[in-house]
Structure 1
Amino acid sequence: MRFLNGVQGIIGADVPEDPAKAFTIDQLFVDVGASSPTDCPISVGDPAVFERPVMELGSRFVSKALDDRISCAVLIEVLRSVNPGNNELVFVFSTQEEVGIRGVISAAYSVDPDLGIAIDVTSVGDTPKAKMEVALGKGPAIKIRDGGMIADPAVVRWMRRSAEAAGIPYQLEILDVLATTDARAIQVTRAGVPTGCISIPTRYIHSPAEMVDLNDVEKVKNLVLALLSQPIEIK
Structure 2
Amino acid sequence: MKELIKELTESDGTSGHEESLTELIKTKIEQQVDEVRIDKLGNLIAFKEGASEQTLMLAAHMDEIGLMVTHIDEDGFIRFSRVGGVAPYLLLGARVRFSNGMVGVIGKEKLKSIKELSFDKLYIDVGLSSKEEVSEKISIGDVAVFDRNFVDLGDRLVAKALDDRIGCALLMELINDSVDLANDTYFVFTVQEEVGLRGARTSAFGINPDLALAIDVTRTGDTPESKTRAVSLGEGPAVKIKDRSVIAHPRVKELMLAVAKKEELPYQLEVLKSGGTDAGSIHLTREGVPSGVLSIPARYIHTPSEMVDYGDVENSLRFLKAFVQQEIK
Please identify runs of 4+ aligned residues in structure 1 that moved more than 3 A: none
The residue number in structure 1 matching 2:194 is 98
**Whole-Å separation in 2 of the counterparts to 1:100 and 1:53:** 27
For residues 34-183 of structure 1, the aligned pairs below 5 Å read 34-40=128-134, 41-130=137-226, 131-177=228-274, 179-183=275-279
Residue 272 of structure 2 aligns to which amino acid in structure 1? L
Partner of residue 13 from structure 1, selected from 108, 124, 140: 108
Aligned pair count reads 231
Percent of pairs with identical residues: 48
Change (3 A) 1:22 1:119: farther
Q: CA deviation at 1:71?
A: 0.6
**Whole-Å separation in 2 of the counterparts to 1:28 and 1:82:** 48
Do 1:163 and 1:169's aligned partners in 2 also have CA atoms closer than 8 Å? yes
The residue number in structure 2 matching 1:4 is 99
Q: CA deviation at 1:95?
A: 0.9
Question: Greater share of strand residues, 1 or 2?
Answer: 2
Structure 1 residues 99-140: Cα deviation after superposition (integer angstroms, max 9, x where no partner): 000111110000000001000000001111221010000101
Q: CA deviation at 1:17?
A: 3.0
Residue 4 of structure 1 aligns to which amino acid in structure 2? S
Q: CA deviation at 1:176?
A: 1.0
Q: CA deviation at 1:55?
A: 1.8
Residue 156 of structure 1 aligns to which amino acid in structure 2? K
Structure 1 residues 70-119: Cα deviation after superposition (integer angstroms, max 9, x where no partner): 11001100111243444100010001111000111110000000001000
Q: CA deviation at 1:216?
A: 0.2
The TM-score, its normalising length taken from structure 1, stands at 0.95
Q: CA deviation at 1:18?
A: 2.1
Aligned-residue CA RMSD in angstroms? 1.2
**Whole-Å separation in 2 of the counterparts to 1:53 and 1:198:** 26
Structure 1 residues 174-197: Cα deviation after superposition (integer angstroms, max 9, x where no partner): 0012x1100011101000000000
Change (3 A) 1:37 1:143: same
- 1:212 aligned counterpart, secondary structure: strand
Change (3 A) 1:164 1:22: farther
Any unmatched runs of 5+ in structure 2?
Answer: 1-95
**Whole-Å separation in 1 of the counterparts to 2:116 and 2:184:** 49
Do 1:82 and 1:229's aligned partners in 2 also have CA atoms closer than 8 Å? no
The residue number in structure 1 matching 2:299 is 203
The TM-score, its normalising length taken from structure 2, stands at 0.68
Any unmatched runs of 5+ in structure 1?
Answer: none
- 1:88 aligned counterpart, secondary structure: strand
Do 2:182 and 2:324's aligned partners in 1 also have CA atoms closer than 8 Å? no
**Whole-Å separation in 2 of the counterparts to 1:72 and 1:22:** 38
Do 2:240 and 2:271's aligned partners in 1 also have CA atoms closer than 8 Å? yes
**Whole-Å separation in 1 of the counterparts to 2:299 and 2:232:** 9
Q: CA deviation at 1:231?
A: 1.9
Structure 1 residues 169-221: Cα deviation after superposition (integer angstroms, max 9, x where no partner): 100000012x1100011101000000000000000000000000010001111
Q: CA deviation at 1:58?
A: 2.9
**Whole-Å separation in 2 of the counterparts to 1:5 and 1:134:** 39
**Whole-Å separation in 1 of the counterparts to 2:299 and 2:263:** 26
Q: CA deviation at 1:22?
A: 5.5
Q: CA deviation at 1:53?
A: 2.4
Residue 93 of structure 1 aligns to which amino acid in structure 2? F
